[in-house]
Amino acid sequence: MEGEEAYRSNRERFEAELEFVQALANPEYLHYLAQNRYFDDDAFVRYLCYLQYWREPRYCRYLVFPHCLRMLELLQTASFRSALKRSDFKDIVFRQQHWHWKYRACTSG
């Protein structure tokens, strides 16, 4: 029974971290986190650093929104985290993301 419980616990953690990492692709969510001072919490910033393991091939293959990996990378810098408090910066990030997806859609295939 212990093995099954550990498996369930690990699976729940994997799914929760997968969902959270993918949410980082959303500039509105990043702005919310910044506005509510999550990025000012050293423990939260360390957690973002810990989540870098999602960049490894054995984990990133589960991502539906791979753009979240770039956001996770950018969130390692204090200046990016701080800038996300500003609405205009959030809008810039959103527009750049939109243009990337639009251009990518035109060139792939």
Give pLDDT tens digits along the chain (109 positions).
688 888 899 999 999 999 999 999 999 999 999 999 999 999 999 999 999 999 999 999 999 998 999 999 999 999 999 999 999 999 999 998 877 666 666 655 5
Looking at residue 26, what DSSP letter applies? -
* pLDDT recorded at residue 3: 86
CA distance 40 to 49: 14
pLDDT of residue 6: 87
- For residue 45, the model assigns a pLDDT of 98
Say which DSSP state 78 is in.
H
Question: For the whole model, what pTM was predicted?
Answer: 0.84
**41: alpha, beta or left? (left if phi > 0; alpha if psi -120 to 50):** beta
Token representation of residue 73:
């990378």
The pLDDT assigned to 102 comes to 67
Q: Which pLDDT value is given to residue 75?
A: 98
Q: Identify the CA nearest to 35 among candidates 74, 72, 89, 76.
A: 89
- The pLDDT value recorded for residue 42 is 98
The alpha-helical segments, DSSP class H, found in 24-77 are 27-35, 42-50, 57-60, 67-74
